[in-house]
Amino acid sequence: MEIETAFHHGAVADDAKPILEMRGIKKHFGNVIALAGVSFDIRPGECHCLLGDNGAGKSTFIKTMSGVHKPTEGEILFEDKPMNFSSPRDAMEAGIATVFQDLAMIPLMSVTRNFFMGREPTKGAGPFKRFDVARANEVCVEEMRNMGINLRGPDQAVGTLSGGERQTVAIARAVYFGAKVLILDEPTSALGVRQTSNVLATIDKVRKQGVGVVFISHNVRHAMAVGDRFTVLNRGKTLGTATRGEITPNELQDLMAGGQEMAQLEGSLGGTI
Partner 1 sequence: MPADSTVTDERVREETLLARLMKRPELGAIAGLILVTIFFLFTANASMFTLSGIMNFLTPAAQLGILAIGASLLMIGGEFDLSIGSMVAFAGMIFGALVVNLGLPLIVAIPGTLIFAGMMGVVNGQLVIRTGLPSFIVTLAFLFILRGLSLVGLKYLTGGSTQLRGVRDAVGDDWLAPFFSGDAFTGLFAKLAEWGWIDTFKSGAPKVPGVPVEILWFIGIALFATWILLRTPAGNWIFAAGGDKNAASNSGVPVNRVKTTLFIVTACCAALVAIMTVIDAGSTDARRGFQKEFEAIIAAVIGGSLLTGGYGSAIGAFFGSIIFGMVVIGLTYTSIDQDWFQVFLGGMLLLAVIFNNVIRKRVTGER
Whether the CB-CB separation of 231 and 48 falls below 8 Å is answered with: yes
Options 159, 178, 249, 259; binder of partner 1; rule CB under 8 A: 159
103: which residues sit within 8 A by CB, 6+ positions away? Answer: 166, 167, 169, 170
194 vs 221, beta carbon nearer partner 1: 194
- Residue 101 backbone zone (phi > 0: left; psi -120 to 50: alpha; other: beta): alpha
What is the closest distance, in whole angstroms, from the C-beta atom of residue 120 to partner 1 in the complex?
4
Between 79 and 155, name the residue whose CB sits nearer to partner 1.
155
Read off the amino acid at residue 27: K
- What is the DSSP pairing of strand 229-234 with strand 47-52? parallel
Candidates 32, 108, 125, 193: give the one binding partner 1 (CB under 8 A): 108
| Min separation Cβ 157 and partner 1, Å | 5
152 binds partner 1 (CB under 8 A): yes
Could you tell me which of 178, 249, 177, 243 has the C-alpha nearest to residue 14?
243
Nearer to partner 1, 14 or 102 (CB): 102
Exactly one of 17, 145, 208, 221 binds partner 1 (CB under 8 A); which one?
A: 145
Q: Which residues of 55-84 are buried (b: 16+ CB within 10 A; e: fewer)?
A: ebbbbbbbbbbbbbbebeebebebeeeebe
How many residues touch partner 1 (CB under 8 A)? 34
Question: Which member of 29, 75, 82, 129 binds partner 1 (CB under 8 A)?
Answer: 129
The residues of the shown chain that bind partner 1, judged by CB under 8 A, are 1-2, 88-89, 92, 100, 102-109, 113, 116-120, 122, 129-131, 133, 145-146, 148, 150, 152, 157, 159-161
